[in-house]
Amino acid sequence: ELPAGQRHFLHVDDLSTAEVREVLDLAKRIKATLAAGGPGYRPFADQTLAMVFTKPSCRTRVSFESGFRRLGGHALCLGEEVGIGTREATKDVARVLASMNELLMARLYAHADMLELAQFSKVPVVNGLTDYNHPCQIVADALTIEEVVPDGSIEGKKVVYVGDGNNIVHSWLELACVVPFDFVCACPSGFEPDAELVERVAKSGVGSARVVVDDPTGAVSGADVIYADVWASMGQKEEAATREAVNEALLAATGRDDTLFLHCLPAERGREVSDGVMESAQSHVFRQAENRMHAQNAIMVFCAGAARPAA
């Protein structure tokens, strides 16, 4: 049980429609506050964030550590030495870490372990990716879209993911449960996302979700955003299935010249995405990576019930 005013962030739709809007607006404000410099905004002064990684990371590690530091705190990065679920039960690690830190962040294999960590933690737990989902990434992606599109809103936009129906897709689906936009997952047959989650979007009555099998070219027509991810996620065996790379031809198949290209990174250039698309004016992948920090700063402030920047 968390104290009143504190929350875990394990799935995007742990937040209501209004709360996602609040977090996105808070991210924009905190980003502007940090950019302006001046008297410090230090909501996490003298606090610590414990981060546990059982999978590799560049962006997640650096964005949480750098972000928490910029907000006045100190982050500890813990790796395999913790032996979460192997050297020691997850529920024991949860209680030990929560007794000495104000916030926890974890990147784990099994989603059930993330849920257990949260269940036994008396401080907020933020999910930094599991085999099932990657909610922080998708909040950063929504922030990026809102910064780039002319009307400043993700609402009503068509976002087409090209690749297998993985953890990234699941968090896009979670977002569509609480934000009104159209999500399309263009995947190879046999790599569809969790059907229950696709169904949940329909039941939400908020966004829309469609799975298009073996037809990325048709799927991207009219897209505001094309999104790609690695072909084989961390911990997955290299799969032999044919996937469609995002290249100049696929980008042109949108029928528009202002479609954004996004990729959560790391990207294998020349495989899931061409060099030309990565470097094109339509690519916003590095803004997207930086926005991990700004989105997560907002998520941490929201979850901890910490002080917001002065208006």
Which of 135, 137, 85 shows the shortest CA–CA distance to 112?
85
Find which of ligand CP, ligand NVA, none residue 90 binds, CB within 5 to 8 Å per kind.
none
Task: Closer to ligand NVA by CB, 84 or 301: give it.
Answer: 84
Other Cβ atoms closer than 10 A to 272: 21
Residue 264 engages ligand CP in binding (rule: CB under 6 A):
yes
- The residue at minimum Cβ distance from ligand NVA is 233
Encoded one letter per residue, x for contact with ligand CP by CB under 6 A and - for no contact, window 64-83 reads --------------------
Residue 137 engages ligand CP in binding (rule: CB under 6 A):
yes
Q: Which residues contact 288 (CB under 8 A, 6 or more apart)?
A: 140, 141, 144, 262, 263, 264, 265
Find which of ligand NVA, ligand CP, none residue 110 binds, CB within 5 to 8 Å per kind.
none
Annotation says 264 is catalytic: yes
DSSP E strand boundaries for 233-303: 260-263
Cis peptide before 180 (omega within 30 of 0): no
Q: Which residues contact 126 (CB under 8 A, 6 or more apart)?
A: 8, 9, 64, 103, 104, 105, 106, 136, 296, 299, 300, 303
Find which of ligand NVA, ligand CP, none residue 33 binds, CB within 5 to 8 Å per kind.
none
Distances (CA, A) of 156 to 61, 129, 140: 32, 27, 18
Residue 58 engages ligand CP in binding (rule: CB under 6 A):
yes
CB of 8 to ligand CP, least distance (A): 19
Find which of ligand CP, ligand NVA, none residue 70 binds, CB within 5 to 8 Å per kind.
none
Find which of ligand NVA, ligand CP, none residue 233 binds, CB within 5 to 8 Å per kind.
ligand NVA
Task: Closer to ligand NVA by CB, 157 or 292: give it.
Answer: 292
Task: Closer to ligand CP by CB, 47 or 57: give it.
Answer: 57
Tallying the residues shown for the chain, one arrives at 311
Task: Closer to ligand CP by CB, 50 or 253: give it.
Answer: 50
Distance CA 221, CA 186 (A): 11
Q: Contact region for ligand CP (CB under 6 A) — 6-14, 54-62, 71-79, 156-164?
A: 54-62
Find which of ligand NVA, ligand CP, none residue 230 binds, CB within 5 to 8 Å per kind.
ligand NVA
**Which stretches of the chain bind ligand NVA, using CB under 6 A?**
134, 166-168, 229-230, 233-234, 264
Secondary structure of residue 228 in the 3-state scheme: strand
Q: Contact region for ligand CP (CB under 6 A) — 52-60, 79-87, 115-123, 153-161?
A: 52-60
Spell out the alpha helix ranges (H) of 37-150.
Answer: 59-70, 90-100, 111-119, 135-148
Task: Closer to ligand NVA by CB, 170 or 294: give it.
Answer: 170
Helices 135-148/285-304 angle, 10° precision: 120
Task: Closer to ligand CP by CB, 64 or 302: give it.
Answer: 64
For tokens 């030309």, name the residue.
276
Round the CA-based radius of gyration of the chain to a whole number and report it.
19
CB of 166 to ligand NVA, least distance (A): 5
Buried b (16+ CB within 10 A) or exposed e, 89-128: ebeebbeebbeebbbbbbbbbebebbbbbbebbebbbbbb
> Residues 136, 185, 187, 264: which is the catalytic one?
264
- Quick one: which H or E segment has residue 219? helix 216-219
Residue 254 engages ligand CP in binding (rule: CB under 6 A):
no
User: Which residues carry out catalysis?
Assistant: 264
| Chain positions contacting ligand CP, by CB under 6 A | 57-60, 129, 137, 264-266
